Amino acid sequence: MYELVVSDSFSAAHHLRGYKGKCEALHGHNWKVEATVASDKLDSLGMVLDFTDIKKALAEVLERYDHKYLNETADFSEINPTTENMARMVYEHLGAALPRHVKVKSVGVWESERCCARYFGS
């Protein structure tokens, strides 16, 4: 099995519904996203997938959130835009954008330099 890891970032604001504390107020983060993809197959060039293609797919997923108020996006209109839920959403959208032989293994979302949530799927 081969794994490839790419990262990107975006800036967005959110608030946590029903939370009692500072994060119930509108605030923003410079989010860092790290995606790990895997495959047991290599192409004729000896690659799982060109890093350029993975980076492009991740950037397209993150574009839906960049400089947005996350609570007003379709993905978070009903669920809280927590770091955990963000990791799951990126995982699902990225998985849908990749070729079948490449699977998303995990997505980590950093809301600060010291706090990360990672989603592994089922």
Active-site hit among 23, 84, 92, 116: 23
Q: How far is CA 91 from the centre of its chain?
A: 6
Residue range 52-111, pLDDT digits in tens: 999 999 999 999 999 999 999 999 999 999 999 999 999 999 999 999 999 999 999 999
Task: Give the separation between CA 16 and CA 25, rounded to whole angstroms.
Answer: 7
Q: Which CATH superfamily is domain 2-119 in?
A: 6-pyruvoyl tetrahydropterin synthase/QueD (3.30.479.10)
Q: Domain residues of the chain, as ranges?
A: 2-119
Residue 115: active-site member: no
* Residue 111 is among the residues annotated as catalytic for this protein: yes
Q: Which tokens in the block code for residue 103? A: 């699977």
- 35-59: pLDDT as tens digits: 999 999 999 999 999 999 999 999 9
- Measured from the Cβ of residue 107, the count of other Cβ atoms closer than 10 Å reads 27
**27 part of the active site:** no
Selecting among 24, 27, 63, 67, the annotated active-site residue is 67
